[in-house]
Amino acid sequence: MIQNLKLARGTPFLAFNAAAILFVIVFLFAPILTRFADRGEEISDNAAQLAHFQNVTRAAKKSAGSVGLSGDPFLPGSEERVASADLQASLKAMAATAGVNLLAIRGLQGGRSQPLHMIAVSVELEGPLKAIRDMIFAIENQTPLLFVSTASFRSLADGEDGPVRAELRVQGAIRDGSRSPAMDGQQAGRGPAPAERMP
């Protein structure tokens, strides 16, 4: 009987301790563990998206190098301003074909990669990653020869299927044969074609 009495007195004590341990687990450790798990998933998702973007640009450049191209590799015309305007119009058409939203396009200061006179254009796009990949593929697989020299990507939503905003620097070369030093001086004063913001 004494033993039963001790057990009866010990039961509330054990129940209280079990409840206290359960409280600590549920209200203290569970949120911490959940936070670490969420953070780990977020880091994994970001790493996967970055790797996916890098694979897209790598695949587009590799495909561009493996496809045989024919025709004049130079942009038409010998005047930088006109060539830049033609390049911008061509990129607008590619964006429409690829199904991406063209946010902005502007001419950049040209440069020289001996012995070529380069024309550069900045393009800001928004759309599905596949559509942007198709646009990069179209840019680097045509004549005149164009190159995506830099590309930056930013995901606008969680998951790989969400929209992406991309900024590309596209370059092409014009012929130098008909240019004179006077023309070069005039072009240096004019600079690239002005920026155009899409509505």
Specify the amino acid at residue 80.
Answer: E
The position carrying tokens 């004494």 is 2
User: 80-173, what's its fold?
Assistant: Alpha-Beta Plaits (3.30.70)
Is the pLDDT at 167 greater than 80, yes or no? yes
Quick count: other Cβ atoms within 10 Å of Cβ 180? 9
Q: Residue 135: its pLDDT value, please?
A: 92
* pLDDT, tens digit, 9 for 90 and up, residues 154-166: 988 776 667 899 9
Q: pLDDT confidence of 190, banded at 50, 70, 90?
A: very low
What pLDDT score was predicted for residue 31? 74
Residue 5: what pLDDT?
A: 44
64/75 Cα distance (integer angstroms) = 17
| CB half-sphere exposure, 158, CA atoms < 13 A | 5
| pLDDT classification of 105: cutoffs 50, 70, 90 | very high
Q: Is the pLDDT of residue 122 over 60?
A: yes
Choose between 178 and 16: higher pLDDT: 16
Split at pLDDT 50, 70, 90, the class of 123 is very high
Asked if 136 and 56 count as a contact pair (C-beta separation under 8 A), the reply is yes
DSSP-derived 3-state class of residue 179: coil
| Per-residue confidence (pLDDT) for residue 42, from 0 to 100 | 79
| Residues 22-81 pLDDT 10s | 777 777 777 777 777 888 787 877 777 777 767 766 765 665 555 444 578 888 877 888
Instruction: Give the separation between CA 11 and CA 45, rounded to whole angstroms.
Output: 48
The C-alpha atoms of residue 143 and residue 139 are separated, in whole angstroms, by 9
Q: What is the pLDDT of residues 124-156, one digit of tens each?
A: 999 998 999 999 999 988 888 898 989 999 988
Q: In what order do the strands lie in the sheet with 196-197?
A: 146-155, 163-174, 116-128, 101-113, 196-197
Q: In whole angstroms, what is the distance from residue 159 CA to residue 19 CA?
A: 40
**pLDDT more than 70, % of the chain:** 70
β-bridge mates for residue 164, sequence order: 127, 155
Residue 152, SS3 per DSSP: strand
In this structure, the dihedral spanned by the alpha carbons of residues 121, 64, 138 and 172, taken in order and rounded to 10 degrees, is 30
What's the pLDDT band for 116 if we cut at 50, 70, 90? confident
